[in-house]
Amino acid sequence: MTNTIAVHMSGVVKRFPGVVANDGVEFELRRGEVHALLGENGAGKSTLSNILTGLYRPDEGTIELNGAPVSFSSPRDALNAGIGMVHQHFRLVETFSVAENVVLGNPDTAFLLDTAAINERVKELAARYDMAVDPEARVWQLSVGEQQRVEILKVLYRGAQVLILDEPTAVLTPIEADALFRTLRAMTTEGRTVIFISHKLDEVMAVSDRITVLRGGRTVGTVETSSTNKRDLASMMVGRNVEFTRVQRKTPAQTNDVVLHVENLGGHDDRGRDALHGITLTVGRGEIVGVAGVAGNGQRELAEVIAGMRHATTGSVSVEGKVLQSGKARAAIAGGVAHVPEDRLHTGLAAGHSVEDNLALKSYRSSLLSRFGLLRRQAMRDGAVTLVERYDVKTPNTQTAVRLLSGGNVQKVLLAREFSTGPKVLIAASPTRGLDVGAIESVRERLVEAADGGLGVLLISEDLDEIMSLADRIAVMYEGRVVAVIPADKADRETIGLLMGGAQLEATS
Amino acid sequence: MNNSLLIVILASAIFYGTPLLFAALGGVFTERSGVLNLGVEGMMLIGGVSAAWASQHVGGSAWFTVFASILIAMFAGGLTALLHAFLCVTLKANQTVAGLSITIFAGALGLSSYFANVWEVASSPVPRPIRKLDVLGLGDTPVLGPLLFNHTILTYVSWVLVAVSSFYLFRTKTGLQLRAVGESPQTADAMGISVVKYRYFHTILGGMLAGIGGAFYSLAIVSTWVDGLTKGAGWIAIALVIFGFWRPDLTLVGAYLFGALQSLGTTLKARSFHISGDLLDALPFIMTIIVLVLVSSRFAHKRLGAPAALGVPYEREER
């Protein structure tokens, strides 16, 4: 049985405005296997699974299910054909019971709800796959791991033969993850097939039969798990070492003259769970420290705690030896922390406001720009005109709303404002994401220029090339911890790729 | 004397509470689907004027006229709600603004008054009002008579409707899916439930029930058309939906409580109690404000079981 093909996707192309998310992907799924789909963020894993579940239609390519070509126009079509998806962000009605969620929208449910019978059936199903969950419990009472079991039950209840799990362990404790792996095994022994999307090497090695690696929207290859290892997978995932040049610095970094000192820092994510576990990190004067890692491993929380937008649960942040008050953005600004947040149009700037208002956002309290609580508009305008010229922002005038500018110019406005406060440290989160090549170049130049001028820069980025070419030292984050700090000239992509995937290093660092 | 006063107040609470109950039950359906309807007042007035017109123009037996008037009120209320659904569901407008617009557009000094003028509805009283029945000849029974056996047909219908609504919401598949649409349209959509259909259907259903509520004013309580005759009952109904925790049975309790407050002025005046009539008339609205303030905090909303997606237009997430 294991050698029959359940799903075969061939030459799949999916384009979005400005991006080719899937560029001729080949994917073959054998019945009864756990098949891992491995790749960095943006490699095309989610797009591929969304095509298979009918959420997106491919622009090119074919999908065969059990040897017959299929075309899905909605998730319902795919579900009816036996392909179900367990989303990373659960689709559950929190006020409903587990059983109600499981039967919701099922065409086989009778008009009159027989709650007792439904509970019984859901209980049986859960027991069959070794999933402990009370059918009568309300979903909001459940832990995240239990909620995930409800999601899986929903798909199984609909009779899915192929289950796609999108980063299922991202929200689980290790014990819950082990329980999930047992459940997956129970499903495959019954002849069901599992696609397991992940970027964590350890668990992919532990749970899968075969692994398909995607990179940049293309299939790098499919390998048997038994005949590969983490190091090979990591290099498939991040690509072979490519030639890249490190940026030439006018002033060398003074790593030992610490400007930013993060000590044993802890913090919560938006849901109140621990996202940072005792982060200790320093940035020296004129130094660029790159933070590498797959998104969602605590980078955003780290940036926000340093910038005073999020409370530290443990530890402290200090700039030039002075400890900043936790959770107070104004304290961080006063202490000399500049912040270029990931979401520049929402967190970084007031999108509907003019360029000059945005440029004044951090300095309007100074006597230069306001007196007796009244703004000095002329001074604001003059200041804005100067900054727009110096930072080469392409805008019709300084009264133009920021949201009307191109991405690169938006970022320049943000950088201009942050630099204009005379900071000692800059936290830059994905500063070049989504920009065109020219804008990327100019943002990078600004960062290097600022570092040459003595600014300490913490550069958080998912773009490994960017980090490797700009940073003096590279810190790798995984699951809320800094797992290694490596001088850039001693770093190689493969090692960093392994660390990003959670592998323990034997003798490096 | 005291005892009978209590009975009179209770009986008139049921009488005055009936239109509130209809409108509030409609609100329960609409809000359970995730659509906030602040246009209830407008829908009631449209229903009220249509019913008065129908009563003056539809011939046949008295029963037939009453029946036809109610049907036409439902139709008119439903049509107004269709507009609300179009604004909220299809155009994804701000639901608060859409509802207020409906009330301003259709309400007192709006479309309902216009129709009343054009149709000359206000010129004479409604010829065939809805009368109280004497069920099984038990209407004169002490205590139980006025409470249970001496009501209009619509009151009895409303009791059945409360039971049917509860059953529908909590015991049927469609009810489950309706609640899912109001709680988490993303989930419902992912499970193949049409958010648009459910929202349209239940918004229109809510408008039809509001129409009946309005008809009860023009056919039973006032028995003639006057501009703005519901006098803010639509707003009370909106508060009642919250007061009843979006549940039909509790909504009935709330409706009769507010019915009692509304009737208190009339009842006490008739017995020559000397309390400010203005104050008594204001009571239901003071209560409405208090209820709304108490429950309008986000925290309370969640704890009271408000549909989580109430007032939020649903947009499918696309890349």
Q: What is the ipTM of this complex?
A: 0.85
Tokens of A72: 């899905």
Is A112's CB within 8 Å of B173's CB? Answer: yes
On whether any CB of chain A is under 8 Å from the CB of B190, the answer is: yes
- In terms of DSSP bridges, do strands A425-429 and A374-375 run parallel, antiparallel, or are they unpaired? unpaired
Q: Which residues of chain B fall short of a pLDDT of 50?
A: 1, 319
Domain hosting residue A493, numbered range:
254-500
Name chain B contacts of A87, Cβ cutoff 8 Å: 190
Q: B212 in a domain, yes or no?
A: yes
Is B172's CB within 8 Å of A16's CB? Answer: no
d(CA B25, CA B14) in angstroms, rounded, equals 15
Q: B72 in a domain, yes or no?
A: yes
Is A96's CB within 8 Å of B188's CB? Answer: no
Smallest CA-to-CA distance from A338 within A276, A401, A431, A248 is with A431
Q: Which of A72, A95, A115, A155 to mutate against chain B (most B CBs within 10 Å)?
A: A95
Count of domains for chain B = 1
Verdict on whether the full-model pTM lies above 0.80: no
Is A104's CB within 8 Å of B186's CB? Answer: no
Is A95's CB within 8 Å of B186's CB? Answer: no
Q: List residues of A whose CB lies inside 8 A of any B CB.
A: 16, 56, 74-76, 79, 87, 91-96, 100-101, 103-107, 109-113, 154
Out of B172, B180, B305, the one facing A93 most closely (by C-beta) is B180
Is B193's CB within 8 Å of A100's CB? Answer: no
Give CA torsion, residues A42, A46, A50, A55, to 10 deg. -60
Out of A95, A104, A110, the one facing B191 most closely (by C-beta) is A104
Q: A245 in a domain, yes or no?
A: no
**pLDDT value at residue A37:** 94
**pLDDT value at residue B317:** 61
**pLDDT value at residue A14:** 92
How many A-B residue pairs are in contact by the CB < 8 A criterion? 63
**pLDDT value at residue A406:** 81
Regarding whether A208 and A84 lie in a shared domain, the answer is yes
Q: B319 in a domain, yes or no?
A: no
Is B191's CB within 8 Å of A91's CB? Answer: yes
Is A105's CB within 8 Å of B193's CB? Answer: yes
CATH code for the domain in which residue B17 is found: 1.10.3470
Q: A234 in a domain, yes or no?
A: yes
Which tens digits make up the pLDDT trace of B207-260?
999 999 999 999 999 888 999 999 899 999 999 998 898 999 999 999 999 999
Looking at the complex, report in whole angstroms how far the Cα of residue B199 sits from the nearest Cα belonging to chain A: 16
d(CA B268, CA B259) in angstroms, rounded, equals 14
Looking at the complex, report in whole angstroms how far the Cα of residue B302 sits from the nearest Cα belonging to chain A: 10
Q: Which residues of chain A fall short of a pLDDT of 70?
A: 1-3, 18, 240-246, 437, 504-509
Regarding whether A219 and A290 lie in a shared domain, the answer is no
CB-neighbour burial class of residue A506 (10 A; exposed 0-12, middle 13-18, buried 19+): exposed
Q: Which of B171, B178, B184, B196 to mutate against chain A (most A CBs within 10 Å)?
A: B184
On whether any CB of chain A is under 8 Å from the CB of B186, the answer is: yes
**Amino acid sitting at position A456:** G
Is A104's CB within 8 Å of B172's CB? Answer: no
Regarding whether A434 and A357 lie in a shared domain, the answer is yes
Looking at the complex, report in whole angstroms how far the Cα of residue A203 sits from the nearest Cα belonging to chain B: 28
Among A209, A238, A267, residue at a domain's last position: A238
Name chain A contacts of B196, Cβ cutoff 8 Å: none
**pLDDT value at residue B290:** 84
- In terms of DSSP bridges, do strands A5-16 and A60-65 run parallel, antiparallel, or are they unpaired? antiparallel
Out of A91, A103, A112, the one facing B187 most closely (by C-beta) is A91
d(CA A401, CA A147) in angstroms, rounded, equals 43
- The answer for A176, left when phi > 0, alpha when psi is -120 to 50, beta otherwise, is alpha
Among A238, A265, A281, residue at a domain's last position: A238
Among A238, A263, A289, residue at a domain's last position: A238
d(CA B43, CA B19) in angstroms, rounded, equals 12
Domain hosting residue B231, numbered range:
2-304
Looking at the complex, report in whole angstroms how far the Cα of residue B234 sits from the nearest Cα belonging to chain A: 28
Contacting B residues, span 140-179, partner chain A, CB-CB under 8 Å = 171-174, 176-177, 179
Is A104's CB within 8 Å of B193's CB? Answer: yes
**pLDDT value at residue A505:** 58
Q: A249 in a domain, yes or no?
A: no
Regarding whether A277 and A210 lie in a shared domain, the answer is no
On whether any CB of chain A is under 8 Å from the CB of B193, the answer is: yes
Is A113's CB within 8 Å of B176's CB? Answer: yes
Regarding whether A283 and A230 lie in a shared domain, the answer is no
On whether any CB of chain A is under 8 Å from the CB of B319, the answer is: yes
CB-neighbour burial class of residue A270 (10 A; exposed 0-12, middle 13-18, buried 19+): exposed
Residue of B nearest to A102 (CA): B191
The count of other CB atoms within 10 Å of the CB of residue A396 is 9
d(CA A437, CA B21) in angstroms, rounded, equals 64
In sequence order, what are the residues at sequence separation of 6 or more whose Cβ sits closer than 8 angstroms to the Cβ of residue A254? A284, A285, A286, A287
Count of domains for chain A = 2
Looking at the complex, report in whole angstroms how far the Cα of residue A155 sits from the nearest Cα belonging to chain B: 10
Regarding whether A215 and A338 lie in a shared domain, the answer is no
d(CA B152, CA B139) in angstroms, rounded, equals 12
Q: A508 in a domain, yes or no?
A: no
CATH code for the domain in which residue A211 is found: 3.40.50.300
Name chain B contacts of A101, Cβ cutoff 8 Å: 187
| φ and ψ of A63, to 5 deg | -125, 130
3-state DSSP assignment of residue B5? helix
Distances (CA, A) of A104 to A111, A156, A274, B182: 12, 13, 33, 13
What is the rounded radius of gyration, in angstroms, for the C-alpha atoms of chain B? Answer: 19
**pLDDT value at residue A372:** 86
How crowded is the C-beta side of B236, counted as CA atoms within 13 Å? 31
Q: Which of B32, B172, B173, B179 to mutate against chain A (most A CBs within 10 Å)?
A: B173
Q: Which residues does residue B260 pair with via DSSP β-bridges, in sequence order?
A: none
Is A76's CB within 8 Å of B192's CB? Answer: yes
Residue of B nearest to A116 (CA): B171
Q: B314 in a domain, yes or no?
A: no
Name chain B contacts of A111, Cβ cutoff 8 Å: 172-174
On whether any CB of chain A is under 8 Å from the CB of B308, the answer is: yes
**pLDDT value at residue B76:** 97
**pLDDT value at residue A244:** 53
**pLDDT value at residue B219:** 94
| H or E element in which residue A270 lies | none
Q: B49 in a domain, yes or no?
A: yes
Which tens digits make up the pLDDT trace of B112-142?
999 999 998 888 888 888 888 888 888 788 8
Is A109's CB within 8 Å of B319's CB? Answer: no
Q: A283 in a domain, yes or no?
A: yes
Out of B174, B183, B190, the one facing A75 most closely (by C-beta) is B190
d(CA B286, CA B236) in angstroms, rounded, equals 10
Residue of A nearest to B184 (CA): A93
**pLDDT value at residue A507:** 42
Q: A469 in a domain, yes or no?
A: yes
Looking at the complex, report in whole angstroms how far the Cα of residue A140 sits from the nearest Cα belonging to chain B: 12
Regarding whether A332 and A226 lie in a shared domain, the answer is no
d(CA A212, CA A224) in angstroms, rounded, equals 9
Name chain A contacts of B173, Cβ cutoff 8 Å: 109-113
Contacting B residues, span 245-304, partner chain A, CB-CB under 8 Å = none
**pLDDT value at residue A273:** 84
Is B183's CB within 8 Å of A94's CB? Answer: yes
Residue of A nearest to B185 (CA): A93
Is A95's CB within 8 Å of B177's CB? Answer: no
Regarding whether A150 and A123 lie in a shared domain, the answer is yes
Is A113's CB within 8 Å of B171's CB? Answer: yes
Is A112's CB within 8 Å of B183's CB? Answer: no
d(CA B265, CA A447) in angstroms, rounded, equals 75
Distances (CA, A) of A268 to A144, A277, A308, A475, B189: 16, 9, 13, 20, 31
Which tens digits make up the pLDDT trace of A142-161?
888 899 999 999 999 999 99
Buried b (16+ CB within 10 A) or exposed e, A460-472: bbbbbebbbbbbb
**pLDDT value at residue A157:** 92
